[in-house]
Amino acid sequence: MKKKKSQYRNKKILLKNISIFIISLLFCLSFSLTFAVNASSSKLTQRELNYIANRGPVKAISIDGAAPFFYKNTAGEIKGISVNILEEIASMTGLTLHYQLYDTAVEMLKADADMAMSLSKEYQMPNFALSLPYLHTETILYYNSSLNPNELDDKRYAMIIGGTLPVGIKEENAVYFNNREETFDAVNEGRADYGYANNYSLAFYMLQNEYNNIVTVPYGKESRAYCFGIVEGDENLLSIINKSLSAISESRMQTLILSAVSDVKKKLTFQKVLDTYWIEIFSLIALVIAVLSYAIHAKKNANKLLNLEIIKVKEQEEKIRQLSFHDSLTGLYNRRYLEEELSRLDVERQLPISVIVADVNGLKVTNDALGHSEGDKLLQKAAEVLKNACREEDIAARTGGDEFILFFPQTTEEETIQIAQRIHQHCSEKCKNIIPGTLSLGYATKNNTGEDISDVIKKAEEMMYSHKLLESQSIRSRIISSLQSTLHEKDIETIEHSQRIAETSMKVGEKLGLAQQELDNLSLLASLHDIGKITVDESILKKPDKLTPRERKEMEKHSEAGYRIAKSTNMLTEIAEYILYHHERWDGKGYPHGLKGEEIPLLSRILAIADAYDAMINDRPYQKAISKEEVIEELKKESGKQFDPELVPIFISIL
């Protein structure tokens, strides 16, 4: 057993060294520079010479963690390729340069600077113009060793803040970090899955940090041209930099670059490699010699073996392709599979072909009220209902966030109607939740080859949207009723409490001469002002003792949660703002925003008095009721502090 472990460890070390060896080769061979010596363009005008003589130091900035372009060495000095080139320009022109590195792109963007040390069109800062490129390089794929490089489409992509996502990578899959070194650390530690980086930075950090869990694939993703960024409007500085870059010969530019990357070699010297891995190195050399010798003397057999390996790779790719056809959340097929499978399905022998399009109702309010984890559960339950309605030869796919489509070959329209009815029934049984989920369905059938399947799908979608519109009022009413029931189950407040508040609030509103629309909103507000409490832990809601500061802070979040829920429910949007501010105080000491006086909406001010009155006049687990006279005295005491001083007398007059 120990011998096997030792062999495995030696094998891992050998593979790691091969990876480092390949990156180092790429690093050394990647100088693809496109500078041409232009002596005439390097001549500075008198205006530019005066500019150099009269201006102070030029402040050049960037973010740390982007070696070998710019970084701080162990002595705290700022070094790198960009610094070497700028120093060369300084010696040519007489410019004085000061350098500053920041920890994050956000800090760098706030800095007052004359130029950025290294930019490309993929990472261009606002208000900065690009100079001529001084370095061209390729980006290389790197990924966590636990992953298959053919399965990276929906994995987490390590991205630097301020950059542009490569073509084909979705925004929702991006994980953002402050600098290049952080992206390597994240992939090595499993906080991200893969990324692309220029070969200079990849080689530097792979050698410096000796990452154990990163694998690199030595092919270029895209070419990048690195330039200096000059603050817009400083045309003299831009012209001086461009002329200086044009005057630097290709050989001199390579010398400056090699000088800057010499620190990488110091991290891992040849002697250190030889002392530590001399067995692996000589084994590798022997292996290369053996492979080359075998290839020369047995080319025919090698080609046969290669063909066999290609076949195996293709088979593996086919398996990976099949795995990529499923939606990760629901397990149903995805849109990609549907598009490929539709050509096989849409043939005469499968007629009639029926389509059902489904849309989940209540997903947005579930996400807003209870969080996306509950929304995911609702989608999974809906998917289970749809899957159970299908036979083995049928297809069920998730095509969007809350959208699904089902295909039923050799199924008539009458049979499809029966299937839709079963789906509705099973959904009402299966998708029970704090917020009930329902499905809006539309269906259509292709009966002859002359019909276009896309038109059939469109017809089903139109029916679904029509049903959704017709059912919208009923759906919203069910959601509101469910929210109210959940609130009364979780909270100590009763339906009678809401009714009493509504009654007293309406009396105040009528005395103020509010319009009927405002009175309707006031009544609805009284019923649902504490709806956000459904997101608060029940142990806090029903605690008989005084809340701790942490519990109080959690409780105070309910007004903002209620605002989000109301905003996501069409019938409640008009009272969302009133819910948000019903715990504000006249003196500005309330929450969540500390509004003061008439900044607080009128309906929120009315509700605050009615709610406080009802709380004092009735028993609570944490306090006994007080008399009506005592309540009136308390309201007067808080007039101009907690409550609107003009509303308090009106409220007292209706008691």
**pLDDT digits 0-9 by tens, 62-121:** 888 778 888 887 778 888 889 999 999 999 999 999 999 988 877 888 888 999 988 888
In a domain, 147, yes or no: yes
Q: Are residues 74 and 209 in the same domain?
A: yes
Of 254, 420, 405, 415, give the one whose Cα is nearest residue 330: 405
CATH code assigned at 624: 1.10.3210.10
In a domain, 193, yes or no: yes
> Which of 445, 461, 482 is the endpoint of a domain?
482
The region of weakest confidence among 236-245, 545-554, 568-577 is: 568-577
User: What pLDDT is attached to residue 240?
Assistant: 94
Q: Are residues 110 and 83 in the same domain?
A: yes
138 forms beta bridges with 223
Whether the per-residue pLDDT at 425 is higher than 80: the answer is: yes
User: What pLDDT is attached to residue 264?
Assistant: 55
In a domain, 172, yes or no: yes
Task: Record the tokens describing residue 464, joined without a space.
Answer: 């679904």
Q: Which residue has the tokens 């950059």?
A: 163
Of 578, 468, 592, give the one whose Cα is nearest residue 529: 578
Q: Are residues 107 and 225 in the same domain?
A: yes
Q: Are residues 190 and 177 in the same domain?
A: yes
Instruction: Grade residue 291 by pLDDT with cuts at 50, 70 and 90.
Output: confident
Q: Are residues 353 and 419 in the same domain?
A: yes
Q: Are residues 76 and 206 in the same domain?
A: yes
Return the percentage of the chain with pLDDT > 70, whole number.
83
Tell me the mean pLDDT in the region 475-489: 69
Q: Could you please report the per-residue DSSP string of 23-78? A: HHHHHHH---------TGGGPPPHHHHHHHHH---EEEEEESSBTTTBEE-TTS-E
Instruction: Grade residue 224 by pLDDT with cuts at 50, 70 and 90.
Output: confident
Cβ proximity of 89 and 245 under 8 Å: yes
Residue 244: give the domain boundaries: 1-268
Q: Are residues 259 and 274 in the same domain?
A: no
Of 93, 70, 321, 298, give the one whose Cα is nearest residue 200: 70
In a domain, 328, yes or no: no
Q: If you average pLDDT over every residue of the chain, what do you get?
A: 82
Task: Quote the crossing angle between the two packed helices 628-638 and 647-654, to the nearest 10°.
Answer: 170
How many angstroms separate the CA atoms of 355 and 343, rounded?
15
DSSP one-letter code for 161: T
Whether the per-residue pLDDT at 480 is higher than 80: the answer is: no
Task: Report CA torsion sign: 384, 386, 392, 393.
Answer: negative
Q: Are residues 299 and 204 in the same domain?
A: no
Whether the per-residue pLDDT at 450 is higher than 90: the answer is: no
Tell me the mean pLDDT in the region 212-222: 78
DSSP element (H, E) containing 406: strand 403-408
Whether the per-residue pLDDT at 24 is higher than 60: the answer is: no
Whether the per-residue pLDDT at 42 is higher than 70: the answer is: no
> Which of 224, 253, 268 is the endpoint of a domain?
268
User: What pLDDT is attached to residue 30?
Assistant: 44
User: What pLDDT is attached to residue 444?
Assistant: 93
CATH code assigned at 363: 3.30.70.270
476 CB-contact burial (10 Å; exposed 0-12 / middle 13-18 / buried 19+): middle
How many angstroms separate the CA atoms of 568 and 368, rounded?
7
Whether the per-residue pLDDT at 299 is higher than 80: the answer is: no
How many angstroms separate the CA atoms of 326 and 329, rounded?
9
User: What pLDDT is attached to residue 1?
Assistant: 47
Phi (first) and psi of residue 353, to 5 degrees:
-105, 125
Using H for helix, E for strand and C for coil, what is the string for 276-318?
A: HHHHHHHHHHHHHHHHHHHHHHCHHHHHHHHHHHHHHHHHHHH
Q: Are residues 300 and 399 in the same domain?
A: no
Q: Are residues 150 and 214 in the same domain?
A: yes
Q: Which residue has the tokens 């996306």?
A: 372
How many angstroms separate the CA atoms of 162 and 166, rounded?
13
Q: Are residues 275 and 262 in the same domain?
A: no
Q: Are residues 96 and 141 in the same domain?
A: yes
pTM attached to this predicted model: 0.45
Task: Record the tokens describing residue 568, joined without a space.
Answer: 């996501």
Task: Quote the crossing angle between the two packed helices 516-528 and 453-490, to the nearest 10°.
Answer: 70
How many angstroms separate the CA atoms of 640 and 629, rounded?
19
- The number of distinct structural domains making up the chain is 4
Contacts of 544 (CB under 8 A, 6+ apart): 621, 622
Q: What is the pLDDT of residues 593-615, one digit of tens each?
A: 999 999 999 999 999 999 888 88
